[in-house]
Chain A
Amino acid sequence: MYRGKSLPTDPVETHSGSLAFEAIGMTFPDGTEALREISFSLGKSEFVTVVGPSGCGKSTLLRIASGLLEPTAGSVDIDRERLGYVFQDATLLPWRTVQGNVELFAELHGIPPDERRLLARETIDLVGLQGFEGHYPKSLSGGMRMRCSLARSLTLKPPVFLFDEPFGAVDEITREHLNDETQQLFQQEGFAGLFITHSISEAVFMSTRVLVMSARPGLIVAEFEVPFDYPRPPELRFDPAFAELCGQVSHELRGYHS
């Protein structure tokens, strides 16, 4: 069920900031059963990551959460007003500068020009793209494009933020930087995050909870609480407890890798 609009007044007081899947099933018209009986929820200050093998239905799950796709079974409980959603690729409009791209969502939501310019300025600073406002996407690196895409969603101050493998296409070092930053953003902005990735260390580093998904049909097969406090320093990656947890997730994932 779609909960309809809630006014973007005070996100702390309202229901916004949580998401619940109830027995979601998805079978495509061609007979592919992508998802079966997916049920889980995330609360206001949670950052949940789903890891799973390629093609297990992770993107499909997010498309269902966002309303782009109707599930064939079950229901989603989510406030879709001002939903944050970044895709696997940055999907920037090539004819707009960084500034113009970041303003897009605010523009589509009818926010007046002065206000959205301010919002864009703010989130461009937040993702560290100051000085690149006038650049076109073709002259940005992959990491910068992703930052721009993040900034674009942040202008809406989303209570719920969906991430579909956003850092899959950037190099390892950039990815770690972006992980550090995303984790800080999660803290500062206080959204509920649902993150999809292939990378186990990325999952463990940023999340409060990691879910492991199996393929064909996609099922949640394991769940891990991540006990580390925020903000998490980059050195956490060298912590034995961190490595141990990564190992456990990896083991679980391997068991279902076909």
Chain B
Amino acid sequence: MVVLVVLVGGWYYVTYGVLTETRRFLLRPVHKVIEVGFLDGGNRTDALEALWSSTRVAFIGLVIAICIGFSLAILMSQAKFFERAIFPYVVVVQAMPILAIVPLIVFWFGTGQQARVIVCVIISLFPLVANTLHGLQSAEQGMHDLFTLHHASRSVRLRKLMFPAALPFIFTGLRISAGLSVIGAIVGDFFFARGDIGIGQLLRRHANQLNGEELLAAVILSSGLGVTVFLVFGVIRDRAVGRWHEATSGRS
């Protein structure tokens, strides 16, 4: 809260203290940004529509990434052979700069919603796979021994031991991936610049038209979305594992 006041104060200082009258268009004052960006009817409708479009894309991308990520991690947790065979490719996908594959995606999938979702999946896959796999492998040997002693099948071991042990890691991965998926949705939208208008196109349009207030409002909107997603997944994690997990309990 204090930090927020300092930030807003600093912002005003730069606007009125540092910038001269003629250069003030570079950083508009806070109240103007809010007034024009969020309170103006037309801009607000635009912004909300863009927000909805980007959220939807990010969400679909995340769900797909979760499905793929879980399947891969479960497969790799079952045998070292699969881990050695698959994991390097996951690393490769993660290491590819998203800018490098955007043209490829346009080439293969066009510039519609599908293409944007693919960007989200690619960008958010790695933390899901890596964290889930690490989590599945995190149960202590002693616990595995218990299940061995009592003749637990593979699927029982997976459901009652490895999966619950992985939950804290999975939620950590989800939190990171959800944030990345939002970035993916905005970046994809920004580059493809076609179809449903999302936050990316909004940013581009306002930047091109030098609409200072609207541009800043869109920036705030996009980081707001990222932060919201981060917080929401934090709450979900605490709900799910906070009661028993040592490290997450007692934090909000």
Contact count band on B? 20 to 34
Any A CB within 8 A of the CB of B194: no
Any A CB within 8 A of the CB of B149: yes
Q: How far is the CB of A26 from chain B (nearest CB, A)?
A: 17
Q: Which residue of A lies closest to B153 (CB)?
A: A108
Q: Is the CB of B246 within 8 A of A94?
A: yes
Chain B 72-129 interface residues, beta-carbon cutoff 8 Å to A = none
How distant is the Cα of A94 from the Cα of B142 in the complex, in angstroms?
13
Any A CB within 8 A of the CB of B40: no
How distant is the Cα of A137 from the Cα of B143 in the complex, in angstroms?
14
Any B CB within 8 A of the CB of A132: no
Give the contact stretch, choosing among A44-52, A85-93, A118-126, A220-228: A85-93
Any B CB within 8 A of the CB of A138: yes
Q: Is the CB of B244 within 8 A of A136?
A: yes
Interface of A is mostly: loop
Any A CB within 8 A of the CB of B243: yes
How distant is the Cα of A104 from the Cα of B149 in the complex, in angstroms?
12
Q: Is the CB of B150 within 8 A of A109?
A: yes
How distant is the Cα of A89 from the Cα of B156 in the complex, in angstroms?
23
Q: Which residue of B lies closest to A87 (CB)?
A: B142
Q: Which residue of A lies closest to B163 (CB)?
A: A95
Any B CB within 8 A of the CB of A1: no
Any B CB within 8 A of the CB of A66: yes
Interface of B is mostly: helix
Q: Is the CB of A93 within 8 A of B164?
A: yes
Q: Which residues of B contact A138 (CB under 8 A)?
A: 244, 246, 249
Chain A 45-89 interface residues, beta-carbon cutoff 8 Å to B = 66-68, 83, 85, 87, 89
Q: How far is the CB of B139 from chain A (nearest CB, A)?
A: 9
How distant is the Cα of A156 from the Cα of B244 in the complex, in angstroms?
26
Any A CB within 8 A of the CB of B146: yes
Any A CB within 8 A of the CB of B239: no
Interface string of B120-161 (1 = CB under 8 A from A): 000000000000000000001011011111111000100011
Chain A 107-130 interface residues, beta-carbon cutoff 8 Å to B = 107-109
Any A CB within 8 A of the CB of B225: no
Q: Is the CB of B246 within 8 A of A85?
A: no
Q: Which residue of B149, B150, B244 contacts A95 across the interface (Cβ within 8 Å)?
A: B244
Q: How far is the CB of A213 from chain B (nearest CB, A)?
A: 22
Q: Which residues of A contact B140 (CB under 8 A)?
A: 91
Q: Is the CB of B149 within 8 A of A67?
A: yes
Q: How far is the CB of B175 from chain A (nearest CB, A)?
A: 19
Any B CB within 8 A of the CB of A242: no
Any A CB within 8 A of the CB of B176: no
How distant is the Cα of A89 from the Cα of B249 in the complex, in angstroms?
23
How distant is the Cα of A137 from the Cα of B151 in the complex, in angstroms?
24
Any A CB within 8 A of the CB of B245: yes
Q: Which residues of A contact B148 (CB under 8 A)?
A: 68
How distant is the Cα of A238 from the Cα of B70 in the complex, in angstroms?
60
Q: Which residue of A lies closest to B150 (CB)?
A: A108
Q: Which residues of B contact A93 (CB under 8 A)?
A: 143, 160-161, 164
Q: Which residues of B contact A68 (CB under 8 A)?
A: 145, 148-149
Q: How far is the CB of A121 from chain B (nearest CB, A)?
A: 20
Q: Which residues of B contact A104 (CB under 8 A)?
A: 146, 160
Q: Which residues of B contact A137 (CB under 8 A)?
A: 244
Q: Is the CB of A94 within 8 A of B145?
A: no
How distant is the Cα of A136 from the Cα of B248 in the complex, in angstroms?
14
Q: Is the CB of A91 within 8 A of B164?
A: no
Q: Which residues of A contact B167 (CB under 8 A)?
A: 95
How distant is the Cα of A93 from the Cα of B243 in the complex, in angstroms?
13
Q: Which residue of B151, B164, B244 contacts A108 across the interface (Cβ within 8 Å)?
A: B151
Q: Is the CB of B143 within 8 A of A91?
A: yes
Q: Is the CB of B149 within 8 A of A85?
A: yes
Q: How far is the CB of A142 from chain B (nearest CB, A)?
A: 15
Interchain residue pairs A-B with the least CB separation, the first 6: A108-B150, A91-B142, A136-B244, A95-B164, A95-B244, A94-B244
Additional 6 contacts, C-beta under 8 A, given A91-B145, A109-B150, A136-B244:
A67-B149, A83-B149, A93-B143, A93-B160, A95-B241, A108-B152
Query: Which residues of B does A touch, CB under 8 Å?
Result: 140, 142-143, 145-152, 156, 160-161, 164-165, 167, 241, 243-246, 249
20 contacts between A and B (CB under 8 A): A68-B145, A68-B148, A68-B149, A89-B142, A91-B145, A91-B146, A93-B164, A94-B246, A95-B164, A95-B244, A96-B244, A104-B146, A104-B160, A105-B146, A108-B160, A136-B243, A137-B244, A138-B244, A138-B246, A138-B249
